Amino acid sequence: MTDAVIAALPAMLRTHLEPQLPPWLEPRWFATREEAVAAGPGAQIGWFDMVNKADMAAAIHTATGLLWLNSIFAGMDGLPLQQLQQRRVRVTNGAGINAITIAEYVLMGMLTIAKGYREVVRAQERREWLKDSPGKVELAGSRALVLGYGAIGKLVQQRLAAFAVDVTVVRRSPDGAPNVLGPDQWRARLAEFDWVILAVPATPDTIRMILETAVGRARVGCDGERWQG
């Protein structure tokens, strides 16, 4: 297989991938960090997904002949992006692959907070019949700020519209559209919103973008209380 293209691939996906591989592809399956690092040299294609991104970075470092790196992860934080750029490696990832699931989780979290559903679950565990609703907040008519308007942000907006939530989104390029803010506009208006939803990638620009002083002005999805700013 002297003309074969070598691909380093995760062994946990072998049963799904192997039947689909073309005959000219030579797979190197790995299940551990050590196996991934050993599979890197000579590989032109790499799919080094592991739980620990430091292990992924170590394997990528050894794959000096890499032409294409694929990952199912949406977030690329923790990976040697500068090194990959210098090597001119094509990178593909799983952006949007879990967008529906995450959007539904956002809605579930908001309803859990608004209706006090955690107390309902606790009462069920105590075998206690609640005589009053633990949460009476209605989503209808509330205002939500969605930071990030990628696949997840768009799906969150669609689902909240069905609940009559007034949604404002934050985009890199607002273009003057209604209910759209730019990256330098939302902080001054944070107190206007009942809900703040982060749907941004993990990058140096988004780390610590919500500080305690800012969070203190809005009700956020951590405990459902209206904080006093």
pTM given for the model: 0.74
List the 143-147 sheet strands across, edge first: 180-181, 166-170, 143-147, 195-198
Could you report the per-residue pLDDT of 109-122, keeping only the tens digit for each?
999 999 999 999 99
Pair (81, 145) in one structural domain = no
Rounded CA separation 217/225 (Å): 11
Give the mean model confidence (pLDDT) for residues 160-177.
Answer: 91
In-domain check, residue 158: yes
Q: Could you please report the per-residue DSSP string of 98-160?
A: THHHHHHHHHHHHHHHHTTHHHHHHHHHTT---SS-S----STT-EEEEE--SHHHHHHHHHH
Rounded CA separation 149/172 (Å): 9
Could you report the per-residue pLDDT of 16-59, keeping only the tens digit for each?
999 999 999 999 999 999 999 999 999 999 999 999 999 999 99
Name all contacts of 104-112 with Cβ < 8 Å and 24+ positions apart.
104/159, 106/152, 106/156, 106/159, 106/197, 106/199, 106/221, 107/156, 107/159, 107/160, 107/163, 109/221, 110/139, 110/144, 110/160, 110/195, 110/221, 111/139, 112/224
Pair (103, 209) in one structural domain = yes
Pair (148, 188) in one structural domain = yes
- Looking at residue 214, its pLDDT comes to 55
CATH of the domain at 9: 3.40.50.720
What's the domain range around 113? Answer: 99-215
Last residue of a domain, one of 38, 71, 92: 92
SS3 assignment, position 38: helix
Rounded CA separation 222/74 (Å): 23
Rounded CA separation 42/103 (Å): 40
Is it the case that residue 221 has pLDDT exceeding 70? no
Pair (81, 131) in one structural domain = no
Amino acid at 143: R
Note whether 8 and 69 are within 8 A (CB).
no
Pair (111, 153) in one structural domain = yes
Taking residue 125's Cβ as centre, other Cβ atoms within 10 Å add up to 8
Give the mean model confidence (pLDDT) for residues 91-96.
Answer: 90
Rounded CA separation 76/73 (Å): 7
